Amino acid sequence: MKRQILIATTNRGKLAELSAMLDLDIQWLSLSDLGGLKEVEEDGKTFAENARKKSAGYALQSGLWTIADDSGLVIDALGGAPGVRSARFSEISSDCCSDRALLDRENTAKVLELMKLVPASERTARFICCLCLACPCPAGAKILLETQGTLDGLMAEAPAGENGFGYDPIFFAPSLGKTVAQLGEDEKNSISHRGNAIRKLKPLLEKLLVGGNWFTP
């Protein structure tokens, strides 16, 4: 029987992306595969804090090694905003929160409005992704691994591109001369903050698996 690792998301696309890039002989599970788990609140002040809290919380509930991530957009001219509030930056009515496309549009519109008078030389920004792997232990969850990936770029003045999600249409990657939403999936994964974090995690996770002590390496 294959070893199981939980990826703390209900997003099948994120599950597919992580499992494909890690490419290990593991049975990957999502939160949707498990019933009765309580949502872990993301109330940390940093991406790393949120990733740790989610991975530890779901590891304890599920009894499985758990990988969690927290990621978002950091804009220098906005003092680091949206930051850990990237997914909730627009603060639109909770009645609409189930509509991911609407949230993305509202978040993007708020950023563009706040940035409309910022000159090109001051539109620097970065996407950040923090990944954390935790395991359940008798004394509580144990943090096993943490990695971080970034993607530096500039905030565009208007959306461009139909791919991706979130702030991708207004995040310009100077090295490619395109917004992230104008990139194909493979091209995006090769430079993205999440892709960079996953590539750092893979050799570390492989080393743990080879160690053979599944719960308390």
Q: Is the peptide bond before 174 cis (omega within 30 degrees of 0)?
A: no
Angle CA(40)–CA(45)–CA(50) in degrees, nearest 5? 30
Bridge partner list, 145 = 133
Instruction: Give the DSSP H/E element, type plus range, for residue 97.
Output: none
Q: Are strands 27-30 and 65-75 parallel, antiparallel or unpaired?
A: unpaired
The residue from 25, 33, 69, 70 that is catalytic is 70
Among 72, 69, 152, which residue's Cα sits nearest to residue 104? 72
Rg from Cα positions in the chain: 18
* Annotated catalytic residue 70: yes
- Using a 10 angstrom Cβ sphere, with 0-12 exposed, 13-18 middle and 19 or more buried, the burial of residue 204 is middle
Catalytic annotation, residues = 70
